[in-house]
Amino acid sequence: MSSLPGEVDAGQRLQQTVLRDFGPTSGEDEVQPTTPCYQLTVSPEDAPVPVLLKYALTLIGLPAGGPGEKVAWWVAFTYQGERCEVAHQKFGLRIYLWTDKPAADAGTLLEQISQKLRSSVRTVEKLILDAAPDLLSRGNATVINQHHGLRSAYDYFRERAVDPAHIEDVHEVHESDVGTGYSFTSGVIRMRMNAFHDMVAAITAYVSLLEHDLVLALPFCGFDPDQDNLAEMIGAKWGGKFSRVLGDADGAERIRQRLFEVVERWRNPYSHGGFEKGQTATIYLHTPGVDAAVPIGLTNLRDSPLFSLLPATETDIAEVFALFDEIDAWLESTLPEAMQWISSGLPVRFDAAFGAQLDAARQEGSFDSLLAVADYQQERANNMDF
């Protein structure tokens, strides 16, 4: 769609209310003003999405300019007859006012302009939010690439699990009215428990990373904006994402089953209130005849992390991370272009135009060039080097 439903009504509403004192500039205003110029920098807290201010002004018929050198866009307008401009520049969003009024009055006008522009955002936000489900489901969206941040969380917990901080044994003497008592805390046991806790956290972080990467890989795996629903894919469980992206790949079923076993054994009990699937060791039944409470899992209790004082051995931990390393290598070989793009840190588009670019680059053998151009364009946009 080239415009959002309801734009005309929203523009009229803005003209009649919060932006009624805003108007177009005249031809004479294109000449460099000779009157004093005052400016106000709008903080990111007050305008976290600057482009919404531009959108509000365009809805009332004011044309936007840009991009330009170190500026993403600008809109010239009048406010109560005074020449003004709002511009999103490299170092912030600024409002400019050219006026012969005293500085104090100019400052008051700038604050009024800022407040009214920010108030207009409520109208355009509603316009966008009403259209958001359809835009998202059809792939008219860009997903921010969080691969490196999520990877850092996984690496952090993994390092702690493999090499826990050293803890000394603690021997304590306790004096009381009834005598002397002694206690001992094993540093080794505490280290191993810490390693187990960090392993569980690392597994959780890794699955989160995997889910994120699988979503980012969708455009490289035949995502069709007219058939696939991006919102549903994002909301699917990790197994659903895995099957959609990798279900037909060589070795996919074996990898998926091994990962499923790790997640079920180590992560899920601690992601669902400490309750395992089947409540093997977390619920004890009051059993007639036995005259005791017995675990639901009976002798299968031995397979539960809750079976022993130290739920995971060093071997258990090593096997988990060996599997994750194997999965990483498998993803690199199975989805080379997707993983190359994801590792670059670039955001990923889901629209049909990006899919066409990918298809063309593959046919021409120019994927590396496509990635290099995208990286260059992103760097230019970040620095506003237009």
Question: pLDDT tens across 107-138, in order?
Answer: 999 999 999 999 999 999 999 999 998 888 88
Q: Which two tokens stand for residue 206?
A: 């890794």
The residues of the chain scoring below 70 in pLDDT are 1, 27-32, 270-283, 285, 290-292, 294-310
Helix (H, G, I), strand (E, B) or coil at 343: helix
> In this structure, what token pair is assigned to residue 1?
């769609």
Return the closest-CA partner of residue 22 out of 71, 76, 74, 65.
76
- Provide the CA 360 distance to its chain's centre, in angstroms: 28
How distant, in Å, are the alpha carbons of 245, 253, 257 from that of 310? Answer: 37, 31, 25
Predicted model pTM: 0.84
User: DSSP strand E in 186-305: where?
Assistant: 284-287, 292-295
In the prediction, which pLDDT does 296 show? Answer: 62
Please name the helix (run of DSSP H) or strand (run of DSSP E) that holds residue 348, with its range, or none.
strand 348-349
Measured CA to CA, the distance from residue 133 to residue 229 in angstroms comes to 10
The alpha carbon of 230 is separated from its chain's Cα centroid by a whole number of angstroms, namely 15
Tokens of 263: 């997640």
List the Cα angle 230/235/236 in 5-degree steps.
Answer: 100
| Angstrom distance (rounded) from CA 23 to CA 236 | 47
User: In this predicted structure, what is the pLDDT of residue 341?
Assistant: 98
* DSSP designation for 283: -
Query: Which tokens go with 342?
Result: 């994801």
SS3 state of residue 96: strand
Q: How far apart are CA 153 and CA 300, in angstroms?
A: 33
Give the residue extent of every domain in the chain.
7-137, 142-350
The total number of residues written for the chain in this structure: 386
